[in-house]
Amino acid sequence: MKYTKKLKGVLACFLFAICAITIMSCGKKDSTQKDSSSETSENKKLVTVGYVQSGTGSAWSLANVESIQQNCTEENGINLIYECADDSFDKQLSIVNSFIEQKVDLISFTPIVSDGWEDTLKKAKEAGIPVIIMDRMVETSDDTLFNCWIGSNFLLEGYKAADWLIEYMKSLNLKKDQFNVALFLGVVGSSAEVGRTQGVEEMLNTAGNFKFVYKDTGNFNRDGGIENMKKILKKKLDIDILIAENDDMALGAIQVMEENGIKPGKDIVIVSFDGIHDAFQAMVDGKINCVMECNPLTGKLLASAVQTVMNGDPISKKNYVLEEIFPADTAADYIDNRKY
């Protein structure tokens, strides 16, 4: 079938890209790099990294922050200046600009949205400050404006989740010609939202028997899930499936379903993204049917990329992390070993 062919194509590209995960060589020394300014008590030079997280409204982002703080340490040669933009793009821009003014050695950030970074990245380049983008991606006309990116293949996540859903709905053998789908989007314009939405929509539209009857953003947080589910009930929409672009929104929706006598995972099939511990628990309890993992444990990769870039060693532009899909019947085997 067309969507399976498409998935295979994307999977092939993905596997190819995965070869780059160890952050390997492919460029030449960057003359803009300079010596670090901070020093430890033993006089070991530290690299001062200004890092700004998008927000901490999801369990995923909390795990991401923890991973970055645990790995970008003095022992690993890094003096980390950590900031959080609280999901405000303007705040994030101004923090990155202040890092440039402070003349940090390297800037890293998780862009809230993809657009609007060009001028700031140009300024960083002119100031000779290398940039490592984490998790979500920026949209630029010139990819020399950043040194590398480390994150997830969001489009592939969308394809994989939708592929699982199509097969699962077939296996239920329901006497229905069409399944009504509600889609809760993440932060609109973030590459996590754009990729997942595209992947899910393309594949379900190609399958033919899925109809999107509701689509709105829940901003990747629990309140967003609660509000959207309430709207669905108020509009009396009859949905068979909820796809939530992160676990927190799914968990918010589950709360509302249960308050209204709806059995999540049974009356409504639920698929979500991330793979936080609470979502695994919800799968064990039969309330979420499948989770497409998104890996937030990228701090170690960032710490090593910082050293590679500061040494002027070549580095791959895009570095993908590995992620798996977890149908509910596998959750009990994995729940105790989940790290976030």
Give me the amino acid identity at 35: D
Considering only residues 204-243, where is the footprint of ligand GYE by CB under 6 A? Answer: 220
CB 217 within 8 A of CB 277: no
Q: Kindly tell me which of 150 and 229 has the beta carbon lying closer to ligand GYE.
A: 150
CB closer to ligand GYE, 220 vs 320: 220
Cβ nearer to ligand GYE, comparing 192 with 310: 192
Sequence-ordered strand ranges (E) for the chain: 38-39, 45-53, 78-84, 106-109, 131-134, 148-151, 179-185, 210-217, 241-244, 269-274, 290-293, 318-320, 325-327
Contact between 61 and ligand GYE (CB under 6 A)? Answer: yes
Residue in 95, 192, 203, 251 binding ligand GYE, rule: CB under 6 A = 192
The least CB distance from residue 64 to ligand GYE, in Å, is 8
Handedness of CA 323, 326, 330, 335 (dihedral sign): positive
Q: Site residues for ligand GYE, window 78-137 (CB under 6 A)? A: 135-136
> How many residues sit close enough to ligand GYE to count as binding (CB under 6 A)?
12
Nearest C-alpha neighbor of 296 from the set 112, 54, 64:
64
Nearer to ligand GYE, 135 or 201 (CB): 135
Question: Both tokens of residue 339?
Answer: 């790290």
| Beta carbon of residue 86, minimum distance to ligand GYE (angstroms, whole number) | 12
Pairwise CA distance, residues 25 & 45, whole Å: 24
Minimum CB–partner distance for residue 285 and ligand GYE (Å): 20
| CA dist., res. 130 & res. 146, Å (int) | 7
Task: Give me the residues that bind ligand GYE (CB under 6 A), please.
Answer: 58, 60-61, 135-136, 152, 192, 220, 246, 273-274, 294
